[in-house]
Structure formats: C-alpha cells, structure tokens
C-alpha cells in the first residue's frame, strides 16, 4: 500500500515526490503530538510526546526487498523499544518514504524528512549510491544518518553526520578474493560489474586488487548496467576468457537473470558475489542457476547465538518470512540509534550525532558494533553458499 499523503493537497502532476510509505505501523498521516509537554524529564526540558525518526528506502523497484526488509527490521526494533517505554519516556515514531530505488528520489525523501517532518535522525539507505544522494542532504542540514547496509567507503566520507553499522567494501572485496584464491584455489577469475552502480564498481575494484595481490589473475572485466535484462553478449566475452569463476557484485535481480543466461549458454563455472545478492528473490529469479554459487554477507539466519535466534523468531512471528541481512542490519541500526538517543543529553540532532559517534561495543544481532573515528563499524563477514535454495554458511571471516 502506498499513498501520496506526504505531499498533502499540493501534489502537482509530474512533481517528483518520494511517496510517504504507509505500512502497518504509524507511518501514515501528519505530525502529531507536538508540544503536549507530556513526560517532563528531570533536566527541566519537557520530553516530547514522541521522537520523530525518518527512514527512506526502496519499497518498490527492482531491489525492493532491500527497502521492505529494512523497514520490517526498523519496525520490529521500534515496536520493542516502544513497548519497553520508548526513549527518555518518549515514544519513537518513524516516518518512511519510498525512494523507488532512485537516487533523485532518495535526495527528495531526505529533504522532506528534514524540512517537512522535522526528524531528529534518519535511517537509510541500503544501496550506497542512494545513501550518497540522501546523505549529502542529511549532512547539509546537520541531521545524523545511519546507513544500515551501505558498504561503499565514500558514504561516511560525506561528513561528520553520516554513520554506518556494517563493514566496508575494501574488506568485503578482500573476503571474496581470499575465498576464491585460498578456499576455492582459483587462479583465473573474471569480473562482471554493474557500471551504473557505485557499490558494484567499488567492490569490483577492491576484489581485483586483492585477488591479484594474492597472485591470481583477472582474465576479463566487463560491465552491464542496472536495469539491463539481456546479458548474452557480455557472457560470450566472459566465456571466451575461460575463467574458473565469475565475480558478479551486483544486486539480486540482475544477478539472478545473469545466472540464468550464463547457465543457458553452457557457462557452468561457479559464480561469486557480494552482499547485494542477499535476498530470497535471488533464488526465486535465479532458480537452479544460482545453486552452488557463493556470496559474502553480514549475517546468517541460521546463526545459533541466542540474540540472533530471538531476533529471527520475533521477526518470523511478525512478518512471516525469514529476516535477510538487511532486516538484521536495520534492526541493529534502529536499536543503536535508540541507545545513542538514550545517552544523549537531549534529543537534538547534534547531541544525537555526538552520542552515535561515541558508541562502543553495542551488542547487535549482526555482531558487536563500535563506531570508529571515521564513523564506520568493523564487523565480521560470512561467505554464504546457495544450497537447495537456502543460504548456508561456508565461511566466517573476522576483520
Ligand atoms: N552493500 C550494498 C551497497 O552498498 C547494499 C546491500 C547491503 C545490499 C546488504 C544487500 C544486503 O550498495
């Protein structure tokens, strides 16, 4: 369900407007409860009835599971937090915009969250390119943003208000290069990158550097563009290079189609990828063509640690399906934000920023999170293998 309520009656035809996403939780409608003075705190300043947080993501489009899983993860965290009394006696309220997987809409969404909804902090985006677009706006306005899942190094380099709770692509590229070289014992690998996706370009470059640094050879490096659906001419080039595996660090929709077409052309070597594969849709789209492939990601739904189990159980009970990496990272980002707001002397954007920056050893579902001086987190990665349509842990790699 999607509405344009965010734009009120002022919606001009053709106006680019990221739509307010009204899912089950109090996302719809306008600002409420302002200045009711309820729940006064010891500091003398009355606590607001509610603390407004913004969220932007791809609820629709070709990587919609990124946005929907993230939304569910945030929703679960916020429900649990509010049931436990909220933050400083105030309830958290999340306003969510669908950016449709478009960079321009991501920037529009953040502008609205800041100027119209007056949120004190923002959660999003998943795709690095959209975090770069939205993060630029958040930084300009001095509103802290935590990206749950954007791994491109440039995202947090935008400025001192931009954070992330996941590992970075230099690490992820190294993880998959070492996996190809040391575990699979490969000498010759080809790269098939999405030239229109900053994440894919960055991760390809990091992988190449690490794989060649470890004595391997990249025998071909060709590209496609997000939204493409016919990959046969590039696959012909890739096949001619006779690689032992192909590294395809794209998003799941294109990757599923690439895998299908590769297998259809008799290209049967292992396919390797990164966290952009982490969606149940990879298997729906790729089917048997993605069996036996490997990709790096942030966590495994089968992890037996009690904190992971209780998250997975609560998520399944609330939303039906299994939580993917984005659901888990978003849950962690929301809980970490609430923890920072609890420690902040006041819930102003600047005080929240400082408290996020001071986060040490926060116990997340995806691992322990310490925010470093570059506003990044150092976390372990898992290499997952697609087996019987499920993602099975092949390896865990610590930083
Ligand atoms: N790391 C990807 C990016 O930066 C986003 C992503 C994270 C996708 C986790 C899926 C799972 O673009």
**Pocket residue to mutate for ligand 1, from 66, 69, 171, most atoms within 8 A of Cβ:** 66
- Average predicted confidence (pLDDT) for the chain: 92
Domain housing 335: 4-167+305-379
Q: What is the pLDDT of residue 225?
A: 98
C-beta atoms surrounding 320 within 10 Å: 8
- Are 173 and 261 part of one and the same domain? yes
**Pocket residue to mutate for ligand 1, from 129, 199, 281, most atoms within 8 A of Cβ:** 199
How many structural domains does the chain have?
A: 2
- Are 177 and 215 part of one and the same domain? yes
Atom of ligand 1 nearest to the CA of 197: 12
Q: What's the pLDDT tens digit per position in 156-191?
A: 999 999 999 999 999 999 999 999 999 999 999 999
* 294 pocket-lining for ligand 1 (C-beta < 6 Å): no
Q: List, edge to edge, every strand of the sheet that includes 381-387.
A: 217-224, 188-194, 245-247, 271-273, 294-297, 381-387, 390-397
Q: What is the pLDDT of residue 334?
A: 99
Q: What is the pLDDT of residue 390?
A: 97
* Å from CA of 397 to ligand 1 middle: 18
Q: What is the Rg, in whole angstroms, of the alpha carbon atoms belonging to the chain?
A: 21
Confidence grade of residue 155 (pLDDT, cut at 50, 70, 90): very high
Q: Is the pLDDT of residue 320 over 60?
A: yes
- In the numeric block, the tokens 């019987």 are attached to 388
Q: Using a pLDDT cut of 90, give the percent of the chain over it.
A: 88
This prediction has a pTM of 0.92
- Are 264 and 362 part of one and the same domain? no
Q: What is the pLDDT of residue 19?
A: 82
Q: What is the pLDDT of residue 35?
A: 35
* Å from CA of 251 to ligand 1 middle: 8
* 197 pocket-lining for ligand 1 (C-beta < 6 Å): no
* 290 pocket-lining for ligand 1 (C-beta < 6 Å): no
Q: What is the pLDDT of residue 100?
A: 98
Q: Is the pLDDT of residue 399 over 90?
A: yes
* 128 pocket-lining for ligand 1 (C-beta < 6 Å): yes
* Å from CA of 17 to ligand 1 middle: 24
Atom of ligand 1 nearest to the CA of 199: 12
* 126 pocket-lining for ligand 1 (C-beta < 6 Å): yes
- Are 280 and 312 part of one and the same domain? no
Atom of ligand 1 nearest to the CA of 324: 11
Give the residue whose CA is nearest to atom 6 of ligand 1. 276
- Are 351 and 210 part of one and the same domain? no
State the Cα torsion 351-352-357-360 to the nearest 10°.
Answer: 110
* 156 pocket-lining for ligand 1 (C-beta < 6 Å): no
* 199 pocket-lining for ligand 1 (C-beta < 6 Å): yes
* 169 pocket-lining for ligand 1 (C-beta < 6 Å): no
Which CATH number do you get for residue 217? 3.40.50.2300
Give the residue whose CA is nearest to atom 12 of ligand 1. 127
Q: Is the pLDDT of residue 63 over 70?
A: yes
Closest CA to 358 of 336, 331, 379: 336
Let me know if residue 395 belongs to a domain. Answer: no
Q: What is the pLDDT of residue 256?
A: 98
Let me know if residue 315 belongs to a domain. Answer: yes
- Are 35 and 113 part of one and the same domain? yes
Strands 294-297 and 217-224: unpaired
3-state secondary structure 132-197: HHHHHHHHHHCCCEEECCCCCHHHHHHCCCEEECCCCHHHHHHHHHHHHHHHCCCCEEEEEEECCC
- Are 270 and 361 part of one and the same domain? no
Closest CA to 360 of 376, 372, 374, 351: 372
Confidence grade of residue 18 (pLDDT, cut at 50, 70, 90): confident
Q: What's the pLDDT tens digit per position in 349-368?
A: 999 999 999 999 999 999 99
Confidence grade of residue 105 (pLDDT, cut at 50, 70, 90): very high
Q: What's the pLDDT tens digit per position in 190-240?
A: 999 999 999 999 999 999 999 999 999 999 999 999 999 999 999 999 999
Q: Span 315-331, mean pLDDT?
A: 98
């Amino acid at each position: 369900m999607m509405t344009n309520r965010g734009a009120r009656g002022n919606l001009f035809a053709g106006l680019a407007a990221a739509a307010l996403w009204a899912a089950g939780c109090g996302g719809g409608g306008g600002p409420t409860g302002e200045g009711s003075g309820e729940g006064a705190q010891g500091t003398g300043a009355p606590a607001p009835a509610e603390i407004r947080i913004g969220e932007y993501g791809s609820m629709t489009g070709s990587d919609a599971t990124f946005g929907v899983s993230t939304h569910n993860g945030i929703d679960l965290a916020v429900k649990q937090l509010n049931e436990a009394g909220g933050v400083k006696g105030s309830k958290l309220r999340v306003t969510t915009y669908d950016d449709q997987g478009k960079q321009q809409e991501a920037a529009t969404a953040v502008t609205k969250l800041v100027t119209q909804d007056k949120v004190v902090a923002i959660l999003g985006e998943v795709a690095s390119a959209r975090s770069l677009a939205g993060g630029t706006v958040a930084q300009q306005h001095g509103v802290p943003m935590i990206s749950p899942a954007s791994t491109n190094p440039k995202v947090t380099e935008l400025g001192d208000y931009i954070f992330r709770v996941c590992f970075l692509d230099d690490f992820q590229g190294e993880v998959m290069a070492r996996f190809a070289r040391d575990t699979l014992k490969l000498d010759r690998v080809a790269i098939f990158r999405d030239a229109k996706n900053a994440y894919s370009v960055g991760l390809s470059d990091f992988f190449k550097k690490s794989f060649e640094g470890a004595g391997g050879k990249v025998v071909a490096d060709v590209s496609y563009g997000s939204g493409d659906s016919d990959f046969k001419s590039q696959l012909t080039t890739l096949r001619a290079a006779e690689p032992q595996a192909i590294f395809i660090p794209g998003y799941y929709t294109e990757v599923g189609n690439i895998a299908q077409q590769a297998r259809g052309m008799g290209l049967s070597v292992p396919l390797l990828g990164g966290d952009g594969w982490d969606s149940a849709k990879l298997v729906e789209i790729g089917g048997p063509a993605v069996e036996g492939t490997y990709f790096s990601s942030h966590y495994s739904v089968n992890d037996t640690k009690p904190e992971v189990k209780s998250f997975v159980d609560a998520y399944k009970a609330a939303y039906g399906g299994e939580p993917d990496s984005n659901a888990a990272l978003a849950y962690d980002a929301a809980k970490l934000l609430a923890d920072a707001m609890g420690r902040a002397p006041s819930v102003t954007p600047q005080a929240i920023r400082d408290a996020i920056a001071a986060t040490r050893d926060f116990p997340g579902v995806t691992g322990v999170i310490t925010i470093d001086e570059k506003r990044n987190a150092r976390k372990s990665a898992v290499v997952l293998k697609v087996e019987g349509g499920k993602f099975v842990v092949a390896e865990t790699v610590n930083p």
